[in-house]
Amino acid sequence: MPEAARQVVRNKEIIAARAAGESVSALAGRFGLSTSRIKQVLREAPRPVAADTESAMDLALQRRRDYATAVGEIGALARRLPDSQPAPKVGAYRALLDGLDRLTALERALGFLPEDVGRLQSEQTLVDAVLAVFVEYEVPDDARRALVTRLETVERAA
């Protein structure tokens, strides 16, 4: 296989692994590349066209369900292993933590979790303040809905 074809295959593997939650540094180690090259590959990845967006989201949500199921099964296994078998028990807990890490990365990529929980708390404070002003000044329902619609549009564009 020519070198260019190998790089195309490698880049697809990098993109898929990152989408599955593997960290940039882990990808760099696995593929023998620098972290800056991994980031470049990810930046240059083709974006899905509008027709593929729904199926891509369906696949990502299915992956999320699969990860959640696997994490639950690994957690149950870790709890079932007796303390008299420390090596398998430690291995199961390591697999559990890895699964949780990948699930968290996928949920962040899908927008279910923020990158920074502190930011989420400050956003909640902002929402609470806006709601209090709406109630205090009896802002009409139409204005409230218009604001939410505008914010959703901005969020989708980002």
Reported as a single tens digit per residue, the pLDDT across 108-143 is 888 777 777 666 677 778 778 888 888 888 888 888
Reported as a single tens digit per residue, the pLDDT across 36-50 is 999 999 888 876 544
158 confidence band (pLDDT: 50, 70, 90): low
* Extents of the domains making up the chain: 3-43, 50-110, 117-157
The Cα–Cα gap between 137 and 120 comes to: 26
Reported as a single tens digit per residue, the pLDDT across 59-101 is 888 888 998 999 999 999 999 999 999 999 999 999 999 999 9
- Quote the pTM value: 0.45
For residue 155, pLDDT over 70 is answered with no
Average pLDDT over residues 51-58: 67
CB atoms within 10 A of CB 97: 13
Average pLDDT over residues 6-11: 87
Three-class DSSP labels, the chain: CCHHHHHHHHHHHHHHHHHCCCCHHHHHHHHCCCHHHHHHHHHCCCCCCHHHHHHHHHHHHHHHHHHHHHHHHHHHHHHHCCCCCHHHHHHHHHHHHHHHHHHHHHHHHHCCCCCCHHHHHHHHHHHHHHHHHHHHCCCCHHHHHHHHHHHHHHHHHC
30 confidence band (pLDDT: 50, 70, 90): very high
